[in-house]
Amino acid sequence: MQIADLYIRVSTDEQADKGYSQRDQEERLQRYCDLVDIKVRKVIFEDFSAKTFNRPAWKELLADLRKTKGRHSDLVLFTKWDRFSRNAGDAYQMIALLKSYAIAVQAIDQPLDLSVPENKIMLAVYLATPEVENDRRALNVLQGMRRARKEGRWVSTAPIGYINKCDEWGKKYIEPHEPQASLVRWSFEKIAEGHFSTENIYWQVKAQGLACVKANFFTMIRNPVYCGKIRIPKYKDEEAAEAPGLHEPLISEYLFYKVQNMLDQRGRHKGVYRKRGTTLAAPEFLPLRGFLVCPICGDHISGSPSKGRSRYYYYYHCKSKCGWRYKAEVVNDAFDKELERVGVKPGMEEVIKDFLVERYHQQVTAKTDGRKALVDQLSLWTDKLQKARTHLMNEVIDAADYRMIKNECDLQINQLESTLNKIRTKHKTPEGLIQQGVTTLSSLKTMWSTDDVERKRNIIGSIFIEKMSFDGETFRTGRVNEGAKVMYQVNKKLGNKKDWTNSKNFDLSSLVIPIGFEPMTYRLEICCSIQLSYGTRNNF
């Protein structure tokens, strides 16, 4: 009497569409074994796809058959060949493997005597038919998804910050989902500022409640769906492209492309924190990390905690072997004293405010003037793309070269259009922001003592352009922000150049033309009269 193992497999879609229930298969296989006098050793139930043999229940059965090698079982029975496999190549290999174990396979509804050579043709038909069915179904799904993407629809699980919805007609769409949407927007804005590394921003936003792992976060910040575009992957002769999405964007195209440029540059920005363990290494105790250089060897200064008997102690230390190391408390206190010399002098608030207003108008004018340069660049890239099309039609270049040129032109055109849209908005003088800025400058020392570490680092970066060195008592500062030199009167030479106090005369020269023994010219008379008028007004 032969002994058989019964293999029963379903997949979710087949069980729903065709009624291939496990109970029905088991009943038919048991009836067949009773009719032909076959003893059933075990029944194996599987709920897995037949595209490969990487199935949990089948792997257990195969391991058992490998051990027994035909001593406990002679047959593996199933209802149809598509229950066994939907991949002809894998099926032939598995049949040969089982044959080496002295095990035969058979489908009771499609019986084949494989010892007859001609029956292998029918076996090929039985195995190839379900594989072709799977491939056709996959192709239909792929084409449908590409068509949906070209129409601007998101076709899979909603990305981070969105949620899947369905309208009254049954069409699916995505919409922003709070608070995750605000956290995603905050992440892009922080990356664009460039004060922290991307990994550090991930740990910050995760602490605020963003639900994603680090790998998904790095994928998220590269996804154009957040600026309202749907990415269409490359397929055959069609190049990868982007289509305008039907969903609501979380950020602007300008911000998205700015972040992409920063990520592509892979530059290390000042003020980068590194992760220690699972949390940040207490950045509130090390606000100067990333802004210091070693006074001995000139290498970068880092910072880290050192565990004592009852608590952690924080130190700034050099990365090299020179041995420079100071307590964080000492360095931070010395920097507090350094900030005392950059306070706003009494009576300078109005001068600074007028100065900021004037500089703001100059920058807005410069941006407006820069529109023409951007438009010219946009025209150049558009013309380049048009010439590439003409060369392709005239067979001067082949399709591969054209696709390469087109991708480059499309990227540049999108970035230039985003920048143009950003500066087309009508600018108004932000009186409130300027007043707030002047108040902030006046209370800089207080803010340094009370604000969080991010604001402290913004203060450092706005004043000191180059990194500082600490010799144990005082700071040696590099190049200071030009605006800080004027507003805070850090430069000692500025004390001798107070020829102007009227805020409306920023552009007038403060140099006095000396009156010598030479006869006065008409121009010299005018200069001297101006000089005397300013001297009288300023009590010189």
Q: Are residues 353 and 249 in the same domain?
A: no
DSSP codes joined into one string, 81-127:
HHHH-S-HHHHHHHHHHHHHTT-EEEESSS---TTSTTHHHHHHHHH
In order along its 540 residues, the chain shows pLDDT tens digits of 789 999 998 876 555 445 557 888 888 899 999 998 999 999 999 888 888 898 999 999 999 888 888 788 889 999 888 889 888 888 889 999 998 988 999 999 888 888 888 888 888 888 888 888 888 888 888 888 888 888 888 888 899 999 998 887 878 888 999 999 999 999 999 998 887 888 888 998 999 999 889 999 999 999 999 999 998 888 888 888 888 988 899 999 888 988 888 888 754 444 444 433 333 445 677 888 778 888 888 888 888 888 777 788 888 888 787 888 888 888 888 887 777 666 666 666 777 777 777 777 766 665 555 677 778 888 888 888 888 888 888 888 888 888 888 888 888 888 887 777 766 554 555 666 677 666 766 666 666 666 677 777 777 777 777 788 888 777 777 666 665 665 555 444 444 444 444 444 444 444 444 444 445 444 444 444 444 444 444 444
Whether 130 and 24 map to the same domain: the answer is yes
Say what the pLDDT of residue 365 is.
63
CA dihedral 516, 518, 524, 529 (to 10 degrees): 50
Let me know whether 17 and 116 are in one domain. yes
Q: What is the pLDDT of residue 522?
A: 45
pLDDT for position 398: 83
Backbone angles phi, psi at 499, to 5 degrees: -75, -15
Phi, psi of 384 (to 5 degrees): -65, -40
H or E segment and range at residue 374: helix 349-393
**Enclosing domain of residue 381:** 343-442+478-495
Residues 423, 529, single domain; the answer is no
Paired tokens of 129: 């038919």
- Measure Cα distances from 220 to 7, 198, 224, 389, 494 in Å: 43, 12, 9, 34, 49
Please tell me the predicted confidence (pLDDT) of residue 512.
47
Same domain, 16 and 54: yes
In a domain, 285, yes or no: no
Amino acid at site 314: Y
| CA distances in angstroms from 243 to 148, 238, 322, listed in the order given | 10, 14, 55
Same domain, 227 and 130: no
Alpha helices in 155-225 (DSSP H): 180-193, 198-208, 214-220
CATH for 57: 3.40.50.1390
Residue 77 sits at φ, ψ, to 5 deg, of -110, 145
Q: In terms of domains, do 434 and 398 share one? A: yes
Residues 25 and 114 in one domain: yes
The predicted pLDDT at position 180 comes to 92
Its pTM stands at 0.46
167 and 65 inside one domain: no
Note whether 107 and 67 are same-domain residues: yes
Report the domain count for the chain.
4
Q: Are residues 486 and 535 in the same domain?
A: no
Tell me, what CATH number does 175's domain have? 3.90.1750.20
> Measured between alpha carbons, how far is 238 from 142 in angstroms, rounded to an integer?
14
What Å distances lie between residue 392 and 136, 241, 389, 413, CA to CA? Answer: 34, 19, 5, 20
Does an H or E element contain 209, and which? none
Residues 127 and 197 in one domain: no
Residue with tokens 């696709």: 403
What DSSP letter does each residue of 123-158 carry, written as one string? HHHHHHHHHHHHHHHHHHHHHHHHHHHHTT---SSP
Q: For residue 12, what pLDDT is reported?
A: 63
